[in-house]
Structure 1
Amino acid sequence: MTSLFQILMLVLDVVWFIMIAHIIMSWLISFQVLNLRQPLVAQIWHGLNSLLEPIYRPIRRVLPPMGGLDLAPLVALIGVYAIRIILVNNMHAFM
C-alpha cells in the first residue's frame, strides 16, 4: 500500500508542475514574451490546455465571472494541494 501512496503523490506532483508551467506560460503569452505564432510554443500551449481544460472547466462553471480574470487555475492548485495534505495526514491508512 505504500507504493500506492507514493504513486498518488507522484501524480499530484506532476499535475502541480503542469499547472505551474501552464500559469507561467499564460503570463508570458499575455505579456508578449512568448508568441503563439511560433510552432513549438503553440504546440506546448495547446497540449497544456488540452491536459488542463478537463480540470478547469467544472471549476469555471462554479466560479462567478470575474471579467478578464480566470481564477480556475488558482482554485485547482489549492485543490491539488488540499488533496496532497489529506493524503499525507491519512498516510497511516496506506501502511
Structure 2
Amino acid sequence: MPHPIYGKPSHQLEVLKFSLHLPNRRNGWLTRLEASGECSTKRASLWSISETWTVAEQDSGLQPTDALHHIALLGIQDHPASQEAVFRALTGEPWVQEVLPGF
C-alpha cells in the first residue's frame, strides 16, 4: 500500500548477497548457490536465485563459480529490482525479434 504522503516506494537494488554451500557428506555432496538482491525499502528480498549441482555436474567447481560470477555481473550491470527482471537478464532476448501486427 502506498504511503499517503510519499506515494509508492521506489525499490532499487542496493545489496547482493551470496551463499555458496560447499559439497560434503552431510549435504549429500551437493554444491548449492543461493543469491538474493535486497534494498532498504523492502523487508523481503527483491529477488532470489538458488541452484544446486551434484559432483558429476561440475568440472572442478567451474559451474558454481561461473554462476556466481554471472549473477554478480547481472547485479552490477542491470540492477534488477524484481524476479521478472532477473529472469529476463538471465535468459536474454530471442535471436529474432518478432514484428507484431499493427506496429
**What is the TM-score normalised by the length of structure 1?**
0.37
Higher relative contact order (CA 8 A, sep 6+): 1
Larger strand percent = 2
* Structure with the greater alpha carbon radius of gyration: 2
Structure 2 length normalisation: TM-score? 0.35
| Bigger helix share | 1
